[in-house]
Amino acid sequence: MRLKAWGRLLGAMLLALAAAGRAHAADDLVTRGEYVAHAADCGACHTRAGGEPFAGGLAFHLPMGTLYAPNITPDTQTGIGRYSEAEFIRALRQGIRRDGATLYPAMPYPSYARMTDDDLHALYAYFMHGVKPVSHPVVQTGLTWPFSMRWPLVLWRRLFAPDPGEVQHQMRERQFPDALVARGSYLVEGPGHCGACHTPRAITMQEKALTALDGTVYLSGGAPVDGWRPVSLRGDNRTGLGRWNEQDIVRFLATGRMPLGAAFGGMTDAIGHGTQHLTPTDQLAIARFLKTLSPQTPAADGWKYDPAATLALRAGDVSARGAALYVDSCAACHRTDGRGYPTTFPPLAGNPVVMDPTPDSLIRIVLAGHVLRATRQTPSAFVMPGFAARMDDAAVADTVTFIRAAWGNNAPAVTAEDVGRIRRTLAAEHPPLSLPLN
C-alpha cells in the first residue's frame, strides 16, 4: 500500500517535470503577459474588491450613468475565452469587440493603441492561459439613453481614437534623451494609460492630449472620477509634481506613500493592481519621463513653508476660519504644523492635492475618509476616518479652507455648497471600503 502510494507520487512527479520542460517557454510568455497586465493596470477596473481576478463588475459612475467593467477572464460564455489573438489585439488597440460592436471609451484603447505587438502577444497568452476562467455575466443596465446606444460610440471612435498604424509609426520616429525616458513614455502613454484619468477631456469626452507631444494639457489633471480629482502630473510647483524628485515618484508608485504625499482614490487601485508590481527600473522610467513634463502654468512663486499658522495654533490661537476645527479633528495626525508624520500620515503643507484648483478630493477625504492600502513592500495600511457625521457642510468648508490657505498653501476658499455637492455623491451606491486589519 505504502509502496504503491510512493510509486504514484514518483510517477506524478516525473510527469510534472516533463510537462514543466515543455511548458517553460510558454510559462515565460504568460509570466511576461502578467507583467504587462500589471503595467496596463487591467485589474484596477476589471477586478472588483473581493471578487475573482478580472471577472469584472466594477462600476464606473459617469455623468451619463453607471458602466460596469466586463469579465475578461478566458471563460467562453461570459468572458473573452472565444477571442482570437487578432480579435483581442483589435479590441485593445481599436476598441472593437469580438462581435464588431464598439467599446465604451472607459476602456482606454486610445492609449493601448500604443502597446507593442510583443506586449499584446504576451498579454493575450496571459489572459488565455494564466487567468482562471470565471463564469460571471456582467450586464450593462445602468446607462441612460442616448448613452445606452452603441452606435454613437462608433462615431466617437472614428473621430477621436488614433489609428494604431499611425501611432506605431509615430512611436518609432520619436526621439528621447535616453532609453529610460523612452521606456517611461511608453509605459505612461501606452499601457499605463495615465492620461485616461490625469488628462482633461473635451466636452465630447476624448482626452485633450494623448502624449507629451500634444502640449502642456497632457497629464495636467483630469475631471473628478467617483468624486476624486486626478491631480496634474506635470512639473507645476504647487499643484503638480514640481517638488517631487524621481525617487519620490518611484516610492509612491511602489508603496503609495512618500514624504510629500500618500495615494488615495483611484490611484489606490492603480498602485495595488499596477505600479507596485513593476520593476524598479520601470518605476524609475515612469518617474524620469514624468519629470520631463514642463509645468502647465509656470508659477512665479513656488511653494514655500510659512510658519504663521503653526505659530498661531501652537499659541492656542484658533481664531482663523476653520483653525479650531482643524485642531479638533485633523491636527492629531497631520499636526499643527501641517507637516504630518510622513510616510504614516501625509503632510498637508505643500501637498499638491490640497492646493489643487478643484477641491473635490480634499472635501471627499474629509467627509468619507480613506485607506492607505498595504502594498507588497509596505504591509501596513493606515486609515483616515471620515468626518461626515462630525462636521456639517459649513464646518467641512471651514476646515478645508483653513488647510488650503495655511503653511504657505494658497488655494482659494471652499463653500458649504461645494461640500454639499460632494456629500450628495457619497450615496449608498458607493460601497464602504473594506477596512484593513492592522
Partner 1 sequence: MQGLAGVAACGTVPAFGASAATRPPYAPRFFNAPQWDFLIAACARLIPADIHGPGALALDVPRFIDMQMQTPYGHGAGWYLAGPFMQGADNLGYQLPYTPRDLYQRGITGMNAHATTRHGRPFAALAPAVQDDLLRAAEQGSLVFDEVPSAVFFEQLLANVMEGAFSDPIHGGNTGLGGWTMLGFPGARADFMDWVDRYGAHYPLGSVSISGERA
Partner 2 sequence: MSGDARRLSPVDVVIVGGGWAGSIMAKEMTEAGRSVVMLERGPDRSTAADGAYPASIDELEGNFRYRLFQDLSKNTVTIRNNSQQTALPYRRMAAFLPGEGVGGAGLHWSGVHFRIAPDDLRLRSRVIEKYGRAFIPEGMNLQDYGVTYEELEPFFDKAEKVFGTSGEAYRVNGQVVGRGNVFAPSRSDHFPLPALKDVYTAHIFRKAAEEAGFHPYSLPAANASQQYVNPYGVQMGPCNFCGYCSGYACYMYSKASPNVNILPVLRRHPLFELRSSSHVLKVELDADGRRATGVTYLDADGQECMQPAEIVILAAFQFHNVRLMLLSGIGRPYDPARNEGVVGRNFVYQNVTTSTVWLDRGVETNQFIGAGGGGVAFDDFNSENFDHGPLGFVGGSPVWVNQAGVKPIGAAHVGGPPGTPRWGSAWKAGTIDTYRHSLRIDAHGANMAYRDVYLDLDPTWKDTCGQPLLRMTFDWKDNDIRMNRYVVDRIGDVAKAMDARQVHLVRREFGSPFDTRQYQTTHLGGGAVMGEDPGTSALNRYLQSWDVHNVFVIGANAFPQGTGYNPTGMVAALAYWAAHHIRVTYLAHPGPLAG
**In the bound complex, what is the minimum distance in angstroms from residue 344's beta carbon to partner 2?**
4
SS3 at position 400? helix
Examine residue 336 and tell whether it contacts partner 1 (CB under 8 A): yes
Nearest to 70 by CA among 116, 118, 104, 19: 104
The residue (of 300 and 389) whose beta carbon lies closer to partner 2 is 389
The residue (of 169 and 430) whose beta carbon lies closer to partner 1 is 430
277 is in an annotated binding site: no
Residue length of the chain: 438
61 is in an annotated binding site: no
Examine residue 399 and tell whether it contacts partner 1 (CB under 8 A): no
Whole-number Å distance between alpha carbons of 8 and 11: 5
Examine residue 307 and tell whether it contacts partner 1 (CB under 8 A): no
Task: Give which of partner 2, partner 1, none residue 286 binds (C-beta under 5 to 8 Å, depending on kind).
Answer: none
The residue (of 259 and 302) whose beta carbon lies closer to partner 2 is 259
Examine residue 333 and tell whether it contacts partner 2 (CB under 8 A): yes
Task: Give which of partner 1, partner 2, none residue 395 binds (C-beta under 5 to 8 Å, depending on kind).
Answer: partner 1
193 is in an annotated binding site: no
Q: How many helices (H) and strands (E) does the chain have?
A: 19, 6
DSSP H or E segment with residue 91: helix 85-94
Examine residue 380 and tell whether it contacts partner 2 (CB under 8 A): yes
The backbone torsions φ and ψ at residue 302, rounded to the nearest 5 degrees and listed phi first, read: -70, 165
Whole-number Å distance between alpha carbons of 96 and 119: 19
The residue (of 39 and 365) whose beta carbon lies closer to partner 2 is 365
Examine residue 329 and tell whether it contacts partner 2 (CB under 8 A): yes
| Residues in a beta bridge with 62 | 65
Inter-residue contact 218 to 293 (CB < 8 Å): yes
Examine residue 381 and tell whether it contacts partner 2 (CB under 8 A): yes
The residue (of 44 and 388) whose beta carbon lies closer to partner 1 is 388
Inter-residue contact 412 to 374 (CB < 8 Å): no
Residues 334-353 that bind partner 2 (CB under 8 A): 341, 343-345
Size of the site for partner 1 (CB under 8 A): 36
Whole-number Å distance between alpha carbons of 371 and 434: 9
- The binding track of 315-334 with respect to partner 1, each residue x by CB under 8 A or -, is xx-x-----xx-xxx-xx--
Examine residue 315 and tell whether it contacts partner 2 (CB under 8 A): no
Residue type at position 214: D
38 is in an annotated binding site: no
Examine residue 50 and tell whether it contacts partner 1 (CB under 8 A): no
Q: Which of 50, 63, 146, 379 binds partner 2 (CB under 8 A)?
A: 379
Q: Which of 58, 123, 180, 313 binds partner 1 (CB under 8 A)?
A: 313
**Three cell numbers at 251?**
516610492
Among 185-193, 238-246, 276-284, 382-390, which window interacts with partner 1 (CB under 8 A)? Answer: 382-390
The residue (of 21 and 432) whose beta carbon lies closer to partner 1 is 432
SS3 at position 261? strand
Please, what's the b/e burial string for 73-83 (b: 16 or more CB within 10 A of its CB; e: otherwise)?
bbbeebbbbeb
**In the bound complex, what is the minimum distance in angstroms from residue 322's beta carbon to partner 2?**
17
The residue (of 319 and 438) whose beta carbon lies closer to partner 2 is 438
Among 35-43, 200-208, 238-246, 430-438, which window interacts with partner 1 (CB under 8 A)? Answer: 430-438
Among 42-50, 78-86, 297-305, 379-387, which window interacts with partner 2 (CB under 8 A)? Answer: 379-387
Classify residue 327 as exposed, middle or buried by CB count within 10 Å of its CB (0-12, 13-18, 19+). Answer: middle
Examine residue 49 and tell whether it contacts partner 2 (CB under 8 A): no
Whole-number Å distance between alpha carbons of 4 and 433: 52
Please write down the long-range contacts of 417-426, taking CB distance under 8 Å and 24 or more positions apart: 417/393, 418/359, 418/363, 419/363, 419/367, 419/393, 419/394, 420/393, 422/227, 422/360, 422/363, 422/364, 422/367, 423/367, 423/388, 423/393, 425/61, 425/227, 425/364, 426/227, 426/364, 426/367, 426/368, 426/388
**In the bound complex, what is the minimum distance in angstroms from residue 384's beta carbon to partner 1?**
8
Specify binding-site residues for heme c: 42, 45-46, 194, 197-198, 330, 333-334
Binding site for partner 1 (CB under 8 A): 313-316, 318, 324-325, 327-329, 331-332, 335-336, 367-371, 383-392, 395, 426, 430, 432-435
